[in-house]
Structure 1
């Protein structure tokens, strides 16, 4: 079975430029590039680092805007899919974000992918006015509102967190923009995937086999086909990738170090051995 291999890097203003990484990844035959998002990082550490470390790594405060960076990547590539891994829609105006995603999709020839997360940093979300305990509901409405703007000539939306009267918004995406939801497996996340997503992005990919029946049941309850599963940020080895392929997974996103060209390119070259096996 063919399994696409993509890459992700925690890009910052100190790492290899995302458009250079995109070009290098495409030249080597990788299928996708995903970039993360943090609008800012409050100095307060009421929210513990998700890494389990005592100190939050500096890279969290130094991420570029993913859509600007991916647009630059689109300009120097032709085939590689360009995605967010992950975007934080609760912290974004959905009308503006819909325009950014649609524009990226148009200029890239239909290569945009919207990886979505709910966020982990309470202080960051608070600065955007996001009610923390309702952030999943906010993300849901923002994505549904964006779908309306992408697909209807006269779009409107009325919800608890988003409301706008009939309006015009172009450009439209080339086709359906895939929406991949990140997060820990469970009935709530999988109900959201089944309702408004196209796939699930498990970080690292642990526990995927055990979670598949719950995801499949959620999709069946929603009357739709099984969602894609895209393990994200994986440190690869042949056994792990064989395992994913045996589950019917069609794309795995491999992690490269957050560093300069001399740090990143040798790892990309090392990973090419897996391309010959699965692509």
Structure 2
């Protein structure tokens, strides 16, 4: 009907929000869930990620995706039909910016000569790159250029199958499967469910907190803590 769902209308810029969060927390992990990489310039995005990681003293986790809304991707300058190829290039370019002093990258979508990009991230070699989604090629992408898989609203059986596939592909590529994490995203605060997800192979789970007033959010957090801990 052309109306924007409230859940989308409430979304703020993740890096501004995480900058605020990093200033008032000390141990909480911070992350994007998810950042639409084809809609951002990797030179700027690499600096935003590194800055958040520096301010938070290494607490940032970079959850990424490629988007699903063609009109949005087109408006932002992305190549919707090949958005994952564009995402791959962007991540490879950002890894260069994070890990080398004079960074350069030459690809189809991004091409830049040797440049400096400061500050560097606190985590070495860089914050973990977690790929969202359930696309058929997600596991190949994770093994090639990611550090983990971040599926949303999956069952323990999905996680079990995903872990098995990641292990298989990692071994075939000569990569240690233990270097790849699974973070299940956007789950209910249910202790039994979280335990089952862990047993299925999840390394961590993020619990859903809806946008609300400060009082409502604090009450929800208290209930989550009671359910989880």
Tell me the TM-score normalised to structure 1 length.
0.76
Q: Tell me which residue corresponds to 2:55.
A: 107
Does structure 1 conserve the Cα–Cα contact (< 8 Å) formed by 2:190 and 2:228? no
5+ residue gaps, structure 2, are none
How far is the alpha carbon of 1:168 from its aligned partner? Answer: 1.0
The question of 1:87 aligning with 2:38 is answered no
Q: Which residue is equivalent to 1:136?
A: 84
Residue 274 of structure 1 deviates from its aligned partner by 4.2
1 or 2 for the larger relative contact order (CA 8 Å, sep ≥6)? 1
Is 2:192 aligned against 1:239?
yes
- Post-superposition shift, 1:108? 1.1
Q: In the alignment, what sits opposite 2:148?
A: 199
Residue 174 of structure 2 is matched in structure 1 by 223
How many residue pairs are counted as aligned between the two chains? 223
CA RMSD of aligned residues (A): 1.6
2:227 and 2:117 mapped to 1: Cα distance?
Answer: 42
What is residue 179 of structure 1 aligned with on the other side? 129
- Give the secondary structure class of the aligned counterpart of 1:119: coil
Residue in 2 aligned with 1:65? 13
Is 1:261 aligned to 2:209, yes or no? no
Deviation at residue 122 of structure 1 after TM alignment = 1.0
CA contact (8 A) 1:89 1:116 kept: yes
For 2:8 and 2:129, locate their aligned partners in 1 and report how far apart those are by CA, in whole Å: 23
Bigger helix share:
2
* Alignment TM-score, normalising by the size of structure 2: 0.92
